[in-house]
Amino acid sequence: MGDGVGDGVSENWRKAGWAGAAIGVIAAGAAAGVAMERLTVGRGMRMKARLALDAAGDYGSLRGTEGTTRAEDATELYYETDELPEEKGGRGRLLRRKAAAAPTVVFCHGYCLSQDSWHFQRAALRGVVRSVYWDQRSHGRSARGLAQADGEPVTIEQLGRDLKAVIDAAAPEGPLLLVGHSMGGMTIMALAEQFPGLVRDRVLGVALIGTSSGGLGEVTYGLPLPAAGLSAVRRVLPGVLKALGSQVELVEKGRRATADLFAGMVKRYSFGSRDVDPGVARFAERLIETTPIDVVAEFYPAFQIHDKSAALQRFADIPVTVIAGDRDMITPAAHSVAIKAELPAAELTVLESAGHLMMLEHPETVTGLLGDLLVRTGAVAAATNVGGHGRSTAGSTAGTAGSTSQPGH
């Protein structure tokens, strides 16, 4: 069009795509690119490659017994339960295990992900321990936060109360183990802060993966900016996010239009290995694609003021496993070291060549550490075989990932 209107719209889409990609990387911090995509390959071929990868694996396909509950603001929270199998008694009679007597592991996912991000751990633990997987508000299959629709900001404290609602519905009795990645770990800290009696009476152990107890406002995300530049970014980013959140359709179109750029950028912030299986990388990309920009905008400010260092003391008397990635630029390993400093008895493992999505990048290693926690807490017998599922890196099993362990003493 000669009047420049069409050019202006295209330019806005291009800017929105760049902004959506950059903010999706910096704010969400959890996504992946497709390793086989190259700029020398045509867009049509890249689209076919993505579709082929989507069909190549069963990632995210595991389902359990569905359930929903209501948060304090009536937001519907979706969860699934993987029950233990029925046991056979005398003369072949089926004996249903009493759910209240069996320990339940509750998995809390990270920002811009869903319960499906635990795919590998879920596959390995089925039939070993009763497990609950849930979608945080405005993520996955849970409903958009009703409080946010009324203009209330998201708070980590609110997420902790959401977790309490899920526990009340899915595991109202019996011992608990809590596993959280990134925002999910913060959610667990918020639960402990507000419901110390629950932790004292029922929680056997906790696993905190790629998470932080505070100080996220100081994270540089690997950007080579001077302190003044980072300070400026932190000041303006919430406003930029809010503005983009008000233009959902425009930003989402821009993000789709720049899918290859987005995939390449976010892969850097999700994985620390160069040889991540393209199917796994594409699976992680699909997870991030389902998070609308307005949800990104709603949640981001809560992380900048998050501080739950004091709440960690609620876990001082129980086994705690802390797992970090040495190449995590979203919640750097130093944040896990800080958690270890607050909980000297905790066991800290720093995985080599691991980024933010370490449970997808090195699943067997992460699952093995969770299995160790289950044994240490008595949730499963020492002889229990925790199975594996798939491969995370081309040509090698995830169990080969190196790590540096700092056990408690």
For every residue of the chain, which 3-state class applies, written as one string?
CCCCHHHHHHHHHHHHHHHHHHHHHHHHCCCCCCCCCCCCCCHHHHHHHHHHHHHHCCCCCCCCEEEEEECCCCCEEEEEEECCCCEECHHHCEECCCHHHCCEEEEECCCCCCHHHHHHHHHHHCCCCEEEEECCCCCCCCCCCHHHHCCCCCCHHHHHHHHHHHHHHHCCCCCEEEEEECHHHHHHHHHHHHCHHHHHHHEEEEEEECCCCECHHHCCCCCCCCHHHHHHHHHHHHHHHHHHHCCHHHHHHHHHHCHHHHHHHHHHHHCCCCCECHHHHHHHHHHHHCCCHHHHHHHHHHHHCCECCHHHHHHCCCCEEEEEECCCCCCCHHHHHHHHHHCCCCEEEEECCCCCCHHHHCHHHHHHHHHHHHHHCCCCCCCCCCCCCCCCECCECHHHCCEEEECCC
Q: pLDDT (tens digit, 9 = 90+) per residue, 74-84?
A: 999 999 999 99
CA distance linking residue 26 with residue 198, whole number of Å: 34
Q: Among 3-17, 221-235, 329-343, name the most confident range.
A: 329-343
Q: What are phi and psi of 168, to 5 degrees?
A: -60, -35
Q: For residue 400, is pLDDT > 60?
A: no
Q: What is the pLDDT of residue 209?
A: 98
15 touches 250 (CB < 8 A): no
Q: For residue 290, is pLDDT > 50?
A: yes
Higher-confidence residue of 148 and 34: namely 148
CA distance linking residue 122 with residue 388, whole number of Å: 10
Q: What are phi and psi of 165, to 5 degrees?
A: -65, -40
269 touches 29 (CB < 8 A): yes
343 touches 312 (CB < 8 A): yes
CA distance linking residue 207 with residue 193, whole number of Å: 16
Helix orientation angle between 293-304 and 183-194, rounded to the nearest 10 degrees: 50
Q: For residue 135, is pLDDT > 80?
A: yes
Q: For residue 344, is pLDDT > 80?
A: yes
Q: What is the pLDDT of residue 83?
A: 96
State the Cα torsion 110-111-116-120 to the nearest 10°.
Answer: -40
Q: What is the pLDDT of residue 263?
A: 60
Q: What is the pLDDT of residue 300?
A: 87
Tokens 């008694």 belong to which residue?
Answer: 89
Higher-confidence residue of 52 and 367: namely 367
Sign for the pseudo-dihedral over CA of 144, 31, 368, 193: negative
Q: What are phi and psi of 284, to 5 degrees?
A: -65, -35
115 touches 133 (CB < 8 A): yes
Which residues are within 8 A (CB) of 242 and not within 5 positions of it... i.e. 6 or more apart? 297
Indicate the length of the chain as a whole number.
Answer: 409
169 touches 79 (CB < 8 A): yes
Name the token pair of 79.
């969860």
CA distance linking residue 181 with residue 31, whole number of Å: 14
Q: For residue 202, is pLDDT > 80?
A: yes
Q: For residue 236, is pLDDT > 80?
A: no
Q: For residue 165, is pLDDT > 60?
A: yes
Name the token pair of 356.
């933010």
Q: For residue 17, is pLDDT > 50?
A: no
Q: Order of strands across the sheet with 76-82?
A: 65-70, 76-82, 130-134, 104-108, 176-181, 203-209, 320-325, 347-351, 403-406
CA distance linking residue 371 with residue 365, whole number of Å: 10
pTM value is: 0.79
Mean pLDDT of 179-190: 98
Question: ∠ CA(232), CA(245), CA(359), 5° rounding?
Answer: 80
Mean pLDDT of 42-69: 69
